[in-house]
Amino acid sequence: MSDINLELLGKYLESYGWKYEIHEGEFIILFKGEQSDAEFHLIMSTSENWIGLTIWPFVFLPIGKEDAAIKFICKKNFDLKMVRLGMTEKGEISLCADLSFIDLTEKQFHNALDVLSYYADVLYPELVAFWEKE
């Protein structure tokens, strides 16, 4: 992605009110949930035509509850709009969204951040409660 596009995305983040750092070509953003009061680590990566937004790690897969957790994630993914839950080989659960950079407006970008931060805030306590349930 060109420096112009990185600069534009930086301006979009700043106008949204989020601070960021750029590390090895990726935006690193920390934000706090409004309801859950949890702190989330968002990584924003770019390619020629796509922007990847990933909260990682969102939560960790509970040991001994792998099957139940995978079913839980699949059911949640069916209901989620614009975002999805994913899992790494190490059991790190992430919350992700992808945006096309083609004709992307600042409002569309902000809407995507709204949706991602909303689901992070709402899902986090639910996932933690599920993981802690016996």
Name, in order, each residue with C-beta under 8 angstroms of 83's C-beta and a sequence gap of 6 or more. Answer: 95, 96, 97, 115, 116, 119
For residue 20, tell me if it sits in a domain: yes
For residue 43, tell me if it sits in a domain: yes
For residue 87, tell me if it sits in a domain: yes
Number of domains, the chain = 1
Task: Report the distance separating Cα 52 and Cα 118, nearest Å.
Answer: 17
For residue 42, tell me if it sits in a domain: yes
Tell me the per-residue pLDDT of 7-34, one tens digit each, with 9 for 90 and over.
999 999 999 999 999 999 899 999 999 9
Distances in Å between the Cα of 23 and the Cα atoms of 36, 93, 109, 122 are: 27, 22, 21, 28
For residue 132, tell me if it sits in a domain: no
Which of 94, 93, 41 lies closest to 62, judged by CA? Answer: 93
Phi-psi region of 22 (alpha: psi -120 to 50; beta: other; left: phi over 0): beta
For residue 105, tell me if it sits in a domain: yes
> What is the per-residue pLDDT for 62?
81
The pTM assigned to this predicted structure is 0.91
Find the CATH number of the domain harbouring 36: 3.30.1460.10
For residue 123, tell me if it sits in a domain: no
Structural domain of 28:
3-116
Task: Identify the band that residue 4 occupies on the pLDDT scale cut at 50, 70 and 90.
Answer: low
For residue 127, tell me if it sits in a domain: no
- Judged against a pLDDT cut of 60, whether residue 1 lies above it is answered with no
